[in-house]
């Protein structure tokens, strides 16, 4: 595996090691790009191998990012991990309702302000992903792509399973693992494609 062009030698060596430990050639181009980036960002090959997405959904995410679609994150940590992306997060001003969480409240606040075709990224709170699904089911949220990678022993795996069953264009992973770094890395991989590093089917996506 070759690293992305114009990278620091340490990153280049990291990609070389990754290429010796993980087989990506059999994956579709966008899925290969996302898997490599998540593996590189987390050093967790098991997490990267657990990713699930349809190539068409990832392509829709690339097109949305290229068109300047709004990117919404559940927490500030995901937002901070996005490189060169003007993402938005409502958690600092959100107030949790009784029996709910601030992350879920932040999603509800975002839905009131964000147009259809946004990219929704959940990397921390399962309750935020559940809220995304409920809002979509109610017809109040029509995403270009939902990146659902919350982490934890309570609700994370179930919320991602529900996302996969929802029919929404989605990228998720199976199991309890996930997290802000992984979710941000996945979006960064798609954003790199959107900025012209390659298009679906391009060999550049295998870097």
Given the residues 4, 34, 40, 184, the one annotated as active site: 40
- What would the two tokens of residue 126 be? 């399962």
Least Cα distance to 101 among 127, 77, 133 occurs for: 127
- Any residues with CB less than 8 A from the CB of 204 and at least 6 apart, and which? 197, 198
Q: Report the alpha-carbon angle 60-64-70, nearest 5.
A: 135
40 catalytic residue (yes or no): yes
φ and ψ of 75, to 5 deg: -135, 160
Q: Which residues are catalytic?
A: 40
């Amino acid at each position: 595996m070759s690293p992305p062009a114009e990278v620091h030698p340490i990153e280049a060596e990291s990609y070389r090691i990754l290429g010796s430990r993980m087989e990506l050639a059999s994956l579709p181009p966008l899925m290969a790009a996302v898997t490599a980036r998540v593996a590189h960002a987390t050093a967790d090959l098991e997490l990267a191998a657990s990713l699930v997405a349809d190539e068409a959904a990832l392509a829709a995410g690339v097109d949305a990012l290229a068109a300047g679609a709004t990117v919404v994150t559940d927490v500030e940590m995901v937002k901070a991990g996005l490189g060169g992306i003007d993402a938005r997060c409502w958690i600092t001003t959100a107030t949790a309702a009784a029996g709910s969480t601030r992350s879920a409240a932040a999603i509800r606040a975002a839905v009131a302000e964000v147009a259809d075709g946004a990219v929704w990224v959940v990397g921390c709170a399962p309750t935020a992903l559940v809220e995304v699904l409920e809002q979509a089911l109610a017809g109040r949220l029509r995403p270009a792509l939902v990146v659902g990678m919350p982490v934890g022993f309570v609700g994370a795996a179930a919320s991602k399973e529900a996302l996969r069953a929802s029919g929404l264009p989605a990228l998720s992973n199976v199991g309890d693992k996930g997290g802000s770094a992984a979710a941000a890395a996945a979006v960064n991989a798609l954003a790199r494609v959107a900025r012209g590093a390659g298009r679906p089917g391009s060999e550049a996506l295998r870097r």
